[in-house]
Amino acid sequence: MVTTPDSAVGARAKYEPVIGLEVHVQLLTESKIFCSCSTRFGAPPNTNVCPVCLGMPGSLPVLNKKAVEYAVLAAMALNCRVNETSIFARKNYFYPDLPKGYQISQYDKPVAEHGSIEIKIDGAKKKIGITRLHMEEDAGKSLHEGFPEAAEKTAIDLNRTGVPLIEIVSEPDIASPEEAYEYLTLLKEIILYTGVSDCNMEEGSLRCDANISVRPRGQKEFGTKTEIKNVNSFRFIREALEYEIDRQIDVIESGGRITQETRLYNANEGKTYSMRSKEQAHDYRYFPEPDLLPLVVDEKWKSEIAKQLPELPEARRARMVIDYGITEYDATVLTYSKELADQFESAAKAAKNPKRVANLVQGELMGRLKAKNLEIGQSPISMQGVAASADLVESGAISGKMLKDLYDLSFERGKDFSAVYEEEGRPVQSSDTSALEEIIDELVAANPKQVEQYRAGKKTVIGFFVGQVMKASKGQANPQVVNQLLSKKLEG
C-alpha cells in the first residue's frame, strides 16, 4: 500500500468533492428510435442500417412509440416529473461515427425532470437529485481493432447509430466516490426492475460519465470540474474518482489551477489522463429538430404507462420484511434481481408456510452458498427446491437434520433438492414407535436424577431427553412423536 504523508492527509481534509453523474442507458426496443432498423447487438457491421439512420439527405425520422413509453417508465421509477410536452433538438458536432453531423437529443425541454433516488450510506439514507432524464439517439462506433488493416485504419460500424438511449443526469449531490458507487448500483437496480434496459455494461447498454470538482469545505461556489468519460465498471468509476479527487487537490495545493477538460481513466495504471478540453454547451449549437413534432405525453397516456410500473426494489424489500418476517439484509439479498425476488415470492406463496421458506433461505441456503463462494443465482437448490423441502419439514415427513443432510448432498452433487430427494429414495423420518420406545426406556433407566426432576415439576427437563433421543436416532426421529412418547413415559 502507498502511504500518504501526514501533510497530504491534512490537505485532503480541507476539501470536499462535488460529483455529478451522467448515465446513458440503452432502451430495450426491438427497433431504433427513428427508423425500423433492428437494435440487435453483435450483428455483422453495417447491416442494421437504412437511409434514416445513415443520415441520407431527404430521409425523415419517425419517433418510436415504445422508446417513449420506456423512457417515461424509467422516469416514473426515478420519481421524475414527466413533462407533457418535450422537444427534440439537434446537437451539432462532427464525429466520424455520426453520419448526420448532428445527434437528435433533447435540450431545454427534456421528457422528464426533478427526480430523485435514495441511497444508503453508512446506514443512513441520502437523497440524490436527478436533474433531468432525456431521450436521444446513439452514435455509431469507431473500431480500432478486430479487422485486417486495424494497424493503419479505423473502421466505422453504424449498427448502433439511432439506437434509443435515455440520459439520466444527477444533481451534484454526490459527495464521495462511495456515494457515486451506491447511486449507480441503485440506479441500475431500479432500471433493471422496470425492464426498459438490460443495463449490460460490457455491451455498452449502460455507460457513465462523471463530473468531478473539489472545493474548500464550507465554500458555496463549485470548483472547476473535469469530466471522466467511458469508464466501463462501477468499481473503476469509484477508483477513477478517488484518483481524480487526489489529483485535483494536489494541483490546487501546489498553487496550480484545474483545467476544465475531459479525462480518460486507465484502469491498469489507476490514473486519469487528459483527453481534450471540454466543449462548452453552446458549441453544440442546439436548435429544435425541425423534422419532428413536439413530443406530447398527455395524462391518459401517462396513466397507461404508469400501470406498467412494477413494484420497485425499495418498496418490495419493505413489504417482504413484513410479509415473510425476514430481516432487511435478507430482503436485500432476495431482491438482488427481480427474477430472484419473483422466484422467492412464488416459492414462499406456493409453500404451506412462507415463513419457513424464508427461514430456510436464510438459515440453510445462504450459509452454504457463502461457504462455496457462490452467488444465489448459482445455487444448486432452486427456490422451488427450497419450497418443496419446506413442505416436507412442515408435514413432518423429514426432520430438520435430514433436510440439512439433503442440502449438503445437493451442494456436493450440484443437483436441486427434489432430484437429490428422489435419488435418496424419498427418505422419511422414523416414527416407528417401538424402536423409539426402546431408546426412551434405556434413557429413562440411565438418568434417574433427571426423571426425578421432571416428576418434581421441572418440565423443561424434557428438552434434555428429546435431545438424547434425537442423537440416538441420528436425527431420524420425528420430534413430535418423540415428545409424545417421552411425556407419557416420564409421567410414569
Are 286 and 91 in contact, with CB atoms under 8 Å apart? Answer: yes
> Is residue 392 within the footprint of Zn ion (CB under 5 A)?
no
Provide the minimum distance between the beta carbon of 54 and Zn ion in the complex, in angstroms, as a whole number: 7
* Amino acid (one-letter) located at 369: L
Per-residue binding letters, 167-206, with Zn ion (x by CB under 5 A): ----------------------------------------
Stretch that binds Zn ion, among 47-55, 68-76, 216-224, 354-362 (CB under 5 A): 47-55
| Count of CB atoms situated within 10 Å of the CB of 354 | 20
| Number of residues binding to Zn ion, judged by CB under 5 A | 5
Cell of 231: 469508464
Provide the minimum distance between the beta carbon of 205 and Zn ion in the complex, in angstroms, as a whole number: 19
Q: Which helix (H) or strand (E) holds 444?
A: helix 433-446
* Choice between 33 and 241, CB closer to Zn ion: 33
Q: What is the DSSP letter of 136?
A: E
Residue owning grid cell 423443561? 460
* Choice between 55 and 195, CB closer to Zn ion: 55
> Is residue 128 within the footprint of Zn ion (CB under 5 A)?
no
> Which of 151, 125, 123, 162 lies closest to 26 in space, CA to CA?
162
> Is residue 130 within the footprint of Zn ion (CB under 5 A)?
no
Residue owning grid cell 440503452? 26
Provide the minimum distance between the beta carbon of 259 and Zn ion in the complex, in angstroms, as a whole number: 39
| Count of CB atoms situated within 10 Å of the CB of 153 | 10
Stretch that binds Zn ion, among 7-15, 51-59, 181-189, 424-432 (CB under 5 A): 51-59
> Is residue 163 within the footprint of Zn ion (CB under 5 A)?
no
* Choice between 37 and 393, CB closer to Zn ion: 37
Q: Which helix (H) or strand (E) holds 20?
A: strand 15-26
* Choice between 68 and 158, CB closer to Zn ion: 158
* Amino acid (one-letter) located at 83: N
Q: At what angle do helices 299-306 and 65-77 cross, to 10 degrees?
A: 70
* Choice between 53 and 133, CB closer to Zn ion: 53
Residue owning grid cell 439484509? 329
Stretch that binds Zn ion, among 50-58, 205-213, 255-263, 443-451 (CB under 5 A): 50-58
> Which of 488, 378, 383 lies closest to 440 in space, CA to CA?
488
Stretch that binds Zn ion, among 44-52, 118-126, 189-197, 289-297 (CB under 5 A): 44-52
> Is residue 33 within the footprint of Zn ion (CB under 5 A)?
no
> Is residue 35 within the footprint of Zn ion (CB under 5 A)?
yes
Stretch that binds Zn ion, among 37-45, 79-87, 92-100, 433-441 (CB under 5 A): 37-45
* Choice between 19 and 53, CB closer to Zn ion: 53
**What span, in angstroms and rounded, lies between the C-alpha atoms of 99 and 82?**
31
**What span, in angstroms and rounded, lies between the C-alpha atoms of 353 and 388?**
11
> Is residue 37 within the footprint of Zn ion (CB under 5 A)?
yes
Which sign does the torsion angle of CA 232, 234, 236, 237 carry?
positive
Q: Which of residues 53-72 bind Zn ion (CB under 5 A)?
A: 53
> Which of 154, 132, 152 lies closest to 143 in space, CA to CA?
154
Stretch that binds Zn ion, among 31-39, 206-214, 362-370, 444-452 (CB under 5 A): 31-39
**What span, in angstroms and rounded, lies between the C-alpha atoms of 51 and 59?**
6
Stretch that binds Zn ion, among 29-37, 245-253, 350-358, 440-448 (CB under 5 A): 29-37
Stretch that binds Zn ion, among 27-35, 205-213, 248-256, 277-285 (CB under 5 A): 27-35
Please select the residue that binds Zn ion; options are 50, 186, 201, 309, rule is CB under 5 A: 50
Rounded to whole angstroms, what are the CA distances from 115 to 80, 137, 141? Answer: 4, 22, 31
CA angle 287, 22, 100 (to 5 degrees): 40
Q: At what angle do helices 462-472 and 448-455 cross, to 10 degrees?
A: 140
Provide the minimum distance between the beta carbon of 27 and Zn ion in the complex, in angstroms, as a whole number: 15
> Is residue 139 within the footprint of Zn ion (CB under 5 A)?
no
Q: DSSP of 82-121, one letter per residue?
A: EPSEE-EEEEE---TT-TTSEEEEE-SS-SEEEEEEEEEE
User: Where along the sequence are the contacts to Zn ion (CB under 5 A)?
Assistant: 35, 37, 50, 52-53
